[in-house]
A = this chain, B = another copy of it.
Amino acid sequence: MPDTVTLLIEPLAADADATAVDGTFREVDASAPALRVGELSTQRGDGIFETIGVVDGHAQEVRPHLERLRNSARICELPEPNLAQWEAAIARAVGALPATGEFALKLVLSRGVEHGPAPTAWLHVSPAADFSAPRERGIRVVTLDRGYDRGTAERAPWLLLGAKTLSYAVNMAALREAHRHGADDTIFVTSDGYVMEGPTSSVILRHGDVWSTPAPSGAILHGTTQLSLFEHLEATDRRTEYRDIPVDELRSADAAWLVSSVRLAAGITELDGAPMPYDAAETRALNEYLLSPRD
């Protein structure tokens, strides 16, 4: 069986009938050209995406990812996606994969070709990298100023802070900056000193028996993995809370993680060069849950 699948998708209107899905997917070879140079995704980073984990033939948390895609489309004034069409595309791609192993499935909705009639869309799924080291041994993290204060997103919605756009050059540069400091990843903080998120992950802390994460405001993407973990923690009688977290409270946490859809939970072993307590047993339990089928 192939271990990568690429589907080009003709986006349907949000209210199109489910039967209209037939014939709107076209499988292509990922190593062959599929996009025009006039694509606004490539010219302007003008589009949105989601990355979904696939574990042993099961795409995780499809609905929350698609709901977030819809929210990103609203913020970016892209046509509302047809979620049933995306679900069908995901099912078709996952059905073509081997029944075991971990994969990263990426959905992209672009504004389309410049002066073109319609958005373009595609899905690409490929084997996940081997994340056993960050999951089992943790990661070193540095904090980096994101340049915005806590009130920015509300004051300036055109900065698209709550949308998962394709304009991720800064996120990638922040990871390179972290690597220069000998770290594996970074946590963005506001210019007024509050914890935000990683460039491709959410932050979760534990102080005693209280689990917390920065309150999702317009400036923080609401993490699907964080949401799923909090539901799981609440279902097992743990206390969770959303709140503003000054960076000093991150430093004083009893344990902290970056969580994301494909790498899953990575415990923070070092923050800005200082050791952090690492909770191996809890990290193992979190990843066991995250690797189990979740909807």
For chain A, the bracket of interface size reads 35 or more
Chain B residues closer than 8 Å to A41, beta-carbon distance: 41-42
A interface, over-half SS: mixed
A106–B111 Cα distance when bound, in Å, is 19
A39–B30 Cα distance when bound, in Å, is 10
The verdict on A33 contacting chain B, using a C-beta distance below 8 Å, is yes
The verdict on A145 contacting chain B, using a C-beta distance below 8 Å, is yes
Chain B proximity of A28: nearest CB distance (Å): 8
Per-residue 0/1 for A2-30: is the Cβ within 8 Å of any B Cβ (1 yes, 0 no)? 00001000000000000000000000101
The verdict on A149 contacting chain B, using a C-beta distance below 8 Å, is yes
Q: Is the CB of A35 within 8 A of B39?
A: yes
Chain B residues closer than 8 Å to A42, beta-carbon distance: 35, 39, 41-42, 47, 108, 110, 166
A45–B169 Cα distance when bound, in Å, is 6
The verdict on A38 contacting chain B, using a C-beta distance below 8 Å, is yes
Chain B proximity of A51: nearest CB distance (Å): 10
**Copies per complex?**
2
The verdict on A159 contacting chain B, using a C-beta distance below 8 Å, is yes
Chain B proximity of A96: nearest CB distance (Å): 16
The verdict on A194 contacting chain B, using a C-beta distance below 8 Å, is no
Interface segment among A171-179, A204-212, A269-277: the answer is A171-179
Q: Which residue of B lies closest to A6 (CB)?
A: B37
Chain B residues closer than 8 Å to A156, beta-carbon distance: 144-147
Q: Which residue of B lies closest to A32 (CB)?
A: B36
Q: Is the CB of A77 within 8 A of B176?
A: yes
Chain B residues closer than 8 Å to A172, beta-carbon distance: 40, 44, 46, 111
A40–B34 Cα distance when bound, in Å, is 14
Chain B proximity of A131: nearest CB distance (Å): 15
Return 17 A-B CB contacts under 8 Å, by A number: A30-B38, A34-B36, A35-B36, A41-B42, A42-B42, A43-B108, A44-B45, A44-B168, A77-B173, A144-B158, A146-B156, A146-B159, A158-B173, A158-B174, A160-B173, A167-B169, A167-B170
Residues of A with Cβ closer than 8 Å to B? 6, 28, 30-47, 49, 76-77, 106, 108, 110-111, 122, 124, 144-149, 152, 155-160, 163, 165-174, 176-177, 191
